[in-house]
Copies of this chain bind each other. A is one copy, B any other.
Amino acid sequence: MRSHLCGLVDESLIGQTVTLCGWADVARNLGGVCFIDLRDHEGIVQVVAEPSDAAGNAEVLAVAEQVGYEDCLRVTGTVRRRHSVNAKIRTGQVEVVAERIEVLNKADPLPFHHHENPGEDIRLRYRYLDLRSPDMQRKMRTRTKLVAALRRWLDARGFQDIETPILTKATPEGARDFLVPARMHPGEFYALPQSPQLFKQILMMAGFDRYYQIARCFRDEALRADRQLEFTQLDMEFAWVSERDVQDTVEAMMREVFREVAGVELADPFPRMTYAEAMRRYGSDKPDLRIALELVDVAELVKDCGFAVFAGPASEAGGRVAALRIPGGASLSRKQIDEYAAHAAKFGAKGLAWAKIGEGGEVSSPIQKFFDAAAFSALLAHVGAGNGDIVFFGAGRYSTVSEFMGAVRLKAGRDFGLVEEGWRPLWITDFPMFEWDEEAQRYVALHHPFTAPAVDDEADLRANAATAVSRGYDMVLNGNEIGGGSIRIHRASMQSAVFELLGIGREEAELKFGFLLEALRYGAPPHGGIAFGIDRIAALMAGTDSIRDVIAFPKTTSAQCLMTGAPSPIPDEQLAEVHVQVRPQG
């Protein structure tokens, strides 16, 4: 239907006849000459319909005059040099003088044009119009390139792409499963996989050595801005490996793929940090290293002060008192300081103490009165506070303080323009095996229940569960956990011990994970792997905050597709076929 692509018409074609297909991006009539910006996925070229003595051209002009936004056109014409060069577009040196214009499909008046931004709901409702914009085309193309580059890298190294089932067994492990009633088995249900975790482990037991899959995963969770009901991960698993085999391999992969797709050089090697160090220095297990600010522990300096809020946690095992110096932060108003306190409160803070040092060295702080002058000076000196700075203090349980002070650090980094340019990957390792869940009064797995502990012996693990370290690892980039993995448990006895420590009884374990326990008994090899969040990595590469910009048909935070109208009511007869009914409300 076409001889060339709109966005690729250039000076080499001057004098030639071309046939182009595309959309009318803009059409305007200037002094009896019609100009149409004809757009395809490669870009835009200017089409001109001029008045002329020839009857043919008069016809062309008549057609051109009727062209509206987003009409589908097929244009045949001659390429010529343009009088007024448009340096902003690739084709800006040339234009196409139309000899024939066919309107292949006339567009109705548009609800909006991609040159506007009508708000996300309208964009999602008419997603096809939104996606036509060059900016969305670029973002979606980045995702395609990312996935293709990953596959190419993996295919070349013998990783085997294997599909695992979407209709599978419900195995609750944290998030809620999506359920699918089974027509052939009344009262029974399939579940959509939260990840291919168990299948990929089984694949290692099935002799596959190196596996990957760009896998769709499903979690029926409350949707935050950066979550979707369904998401995509690069899922990988390796047989006969230790941590470093996995880490070194995927680190090299990421370096190459970032270079190829985004022109970005990532550090070689990635820095490595234990979970404990990350929490201590950054108050986060996914620290954004682009922000240089660090938390400073000050328990030693405040444990004898008169301020019980500090002195208590400073003296207790499991307590923490941490300070964060923000250069230039003395400029914060009282109202702005309150905003920081409110932000910290969202992450569990009961309060946020502070001390300002004015440009002349004068200190103002609501907690100064609890210290003698020398001690307070020593405290500020310890954190390196100088004129013009503010210091925030957090005190309480170690994990709570770390979390809210980490959040304060991120906010300060953004507010004060302290986020450096660049790409800062790192590995986080040595995660705790278990976290104690106060509410449930039991251990929960920090990664997942299939993660191997660093110790080989079950008795050892049982005896030291509270302090046990796992063989899990996360890849972090600019404050995002972009990948998480672990060496897995490969012996049935260890897996049973971990289930037990997690409060999963023998019967429950058998019911939910019986096939895994059974498979582990028939010569399961040592194995481990990792999974990367494709949506997030694509968004980072495309330079957008929203993963919805790199998903063709995303759902809203209320779990709807505004274009198709999913979900929707289903006739009761159809529900009867699969043996369910809608529950009466109330």
Contacts and interface: CB of A to CB of B under 8 A. Distances in A.
Given A131-B208, A163-B216, A189-B570, 13 more contacts: A105-B526, A107-B521, A131-B203, A131-B207, A165-B555, A167-B230, A172-B574, A184-B559, A185-B567, A189-B569, A575-B583, A576-B583, A581-B581
Contact of A580 (B230, B551, B558, B580): B580
15 contacts: A41-B207, A72-B524, A104-B526, A105-B526, A132-B206, A140-B208, A152-B155, A165-B561, A167-B566, A168-B566, A169-B566, A170-B574, A179-B181, A189-B568, A202-B563
Contact of A160 (B140, B178, B181): B140
A203 B144 CA distance: 14
Given A148-B155, A202-B127, A522-B110, A186 B585 contact: yes
Given A180-B179, A183-B220, A230-B166, A523 B199 contact: no
A130 B519 CA distance: 12
Given A40-B209, A72-B524, A107-B522, A176 B166 contact: no
A147 interface: yes
Nearest to A141: B160
A286 B47 CA distance: 46
In the complex, the count of this chain's copies comes to: 2
Contacts of A152: 152, 155
Which of A178, A220, A568 neighbours the largest number of chain B CB atoms within 10 Å of its CB? A568
A50 interface: no
A303 interface: no
A207 B40 CA distance: 7
A22 to B, nearest CB: 8
Nearest to A5: B209
A2 interface: yes
A190 B108 contact: no
Contact of A189 (B71, B199, B208, B567): B567
Contacts of A144: 160-162
Contact of A209 (B41, B107, B245, B520): B41
Contacts of A307: none
A188 interface: yes
A181 B108 CA distance: 36
A565 interface: yes
A218 interface: yes
Contacts of A185: 559-560, 567
Contacts of A207: 23, 39-41, 128, 131-132, 137
B169 A147 contact: no
A580 B581 contact: yes
A443 interface: no
A523 to B, nearest CB: 4
A523 B70 contact: yes
Given A176-B577, A179-B570, A164 B559 contact: no
A3 B568 CA distance: 56
A553 B523 CA distance: 19
A414 to B, nearest CB: 31
A232 interface: yes
A191 interface: yes
A579 interface: yes
A199 B552 contact: yes
Given A147-B161, A186-B582, A580-B582, A1 B565 contact: no
